[in-house]
């Protein structure tokens, strides 16, 4: 949606504005993945048909997986400098809290995008708002917020931001799978 301008042009059309800006294709682009756990690995799988150059960074050593999947391991700051799209899939801890601040956003290309569906607090929201308003980056998509529900309507109203109400894991099937997993673990713990 970000790269093809689908969100922005859809909203414009609802306001009677005909904008045929089709954005750019994902194929062949450089995608940076910060956090290559289960979800990061699923992103790798989904990107394969698009033949993207995939840059990765994780605190866990996974060189065999990286080699098998033609991934390039780089320090975070280099991923931010080189990527067309960055997607965050890390936990929130002392090392990742406020990880993406204005300094790091300034290292990104002004044509690049950032996606955060992992944890709030990883991106400094005021810095993201500044970067989006001042064309430091082209756009963002976020599903998590420091305060939920969020109250920064200036940020939420930006046309180059796709924002969703923390629903990344709320598909009917995902909620059911989480419940079944909890039941399975409780049964195993109590040997029932």
> Is 45 a residue of the active site?
no
> For residue 135, how far is the Cα from the chain centroid?
18
CB count, 10 Å around CB of 142? 25
What is the rounded (10 degree) CA torsion for 138, 118, 68, 58?
90
Backbone angles phi, psi at 97, to 5 degrees: -60, 125
- In 11-167, which ranges are E strands? 30-34, 53-57, 72-73, 85-88, 113-116, 139-142, 161-163
Q: Which of 42, 148, 176, 185 is catalytic?
A: 148
DSSP 63-109: HHHHHHTT-EE--HHHHHHH-SEEEE----STTTTT-B-HHHHHHS-
Decide if 166 is catalytic: yes
- Give the pairing type, strands 72-73 and 85-88: unpaired
Of the candidates 166, 173, 176, 185, the residue annotated as catalytic is: 166
Q: Which listed residue (8, 76, 119, 125) is catalytic?
A: 119
Q: Catalytic residue positions?
A: 119, 148, 166
């Amino acid at each position: 949606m970000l790269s093809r301008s689908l969100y922005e042009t859809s909203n414009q059309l609802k306001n009677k504005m005909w904008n045929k800006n089709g954005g750019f294709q994902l194929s062949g682009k450089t995608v940076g993945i910060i956090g290559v756990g289960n979800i990061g690995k699923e992103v790798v799988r989904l990107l394969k048909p698009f033949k993207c150059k995939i840059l990765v960074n994780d605190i866990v050593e996974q060189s065999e997986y990286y080699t098998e999947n033609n991934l390039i391991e780089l320090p975070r700051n280099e991923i931010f400098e080189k990527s067309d799209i960055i997607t965050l899939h890390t936990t929130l801890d002392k090392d990742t809290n406020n990880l993406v601040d204005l300094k790091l956003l300034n290292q990104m290309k002004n044509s690049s995008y950032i996606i955060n569906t992992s944890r709030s607090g990883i991106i400094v929201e005021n810095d993201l708002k500044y970067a989006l308003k001042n064309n430091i980056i082209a756009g963002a998509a976020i599903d998590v917020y420091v305060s939920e529900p969020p109250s920064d309507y200036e940020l939420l109203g930006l046309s180059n931001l796709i924002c969703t109400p923390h629903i990344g894991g709320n598909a009917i099937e995902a909620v059911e799978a989480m419940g079944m997993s909890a039941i399975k673990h409780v049964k195993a713990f109590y040997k029932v």
